[in-house]
């Protein structure tokens, strides 16, 4: 396995996350229209809350000590109606690190770090993401998991994580 680190991002690393979010939103613009600002940048207004809200967790992903992506996790009422779930708010692995199992490793590590009920929302138009999440979650829970359609055109995966989940 590739040496991967999933570490909490500090407030001093907020500019690093903001830069990575630019790449993430740019990738997403293929599936959803995002307005670019007059300064030529995309914005992510919730980012500052990841250091002030105890139910939000900004994480940086490093491979061999170098940046490889980020994960933004939050605890909130679930789209499924569950009163409180862990939500994979944003998940990004640099293109140069994709299709090598790194994203799956990162997702599994995050789910083990935050045990409890989880939800992952995916835009159905984002076929690569649907395939990725279906495989990563199914492998994690040890059985096939399929999303359900919810409002606003999202596909929703719901599952449970415990600290003992070790399937890879």
Q: How far apart are CA 95 and CA 23, in angstroms?
A: 10
pLDDT in tens, 98-117: 888 899 999 999 999 999 99
**pLDDT for 70:** 96
How far is the C-alpha of 158 from the C-alpha of 80, rounded, in Å?
A: 8
Q: Which helix (H) or strand (E) holds 20?
A: helix 14-28
User: Which domains does the chain carry?
Assistant: 4-161 (3.40.630.30)
pTM above 0.85, yes or no: yes
């Amino acid at each position: 396995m590739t040496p991967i680190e999933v570490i909490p991002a500090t407030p001093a690393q907020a500019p690093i996350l903001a830069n990575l979010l630019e790449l993430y939103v740019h990738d997403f613009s293929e599936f959803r229209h995002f307005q670019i600002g007059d300064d030529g940048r995309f914005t992510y207004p919730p980012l500052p809350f990841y250091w002030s809200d105890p139910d939000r967790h900004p994480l940086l992903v490093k491979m061999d000590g170098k940046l490889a992506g980020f994960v933004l996790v939050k605890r909130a009422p679930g789209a499924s109606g569950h009163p409180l779930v862990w939500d994979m708010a944003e998940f990004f692995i640099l293109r140069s690190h994709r299709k090598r199992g790194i994203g799956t490793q990162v997702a599994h590590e995050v789910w083990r770090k935050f045990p409890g009920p989880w939800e992952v929302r995916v835009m159905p138009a984002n076929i690569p993401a649907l395939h990725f999440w279906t495989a990563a979650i199914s492998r994690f829970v040890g059985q096939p998991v399929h999303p359900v359609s919810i409002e606003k055109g999202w596909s929703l995966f719901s599952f449970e994580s415990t600290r003992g989940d070790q399937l890879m």
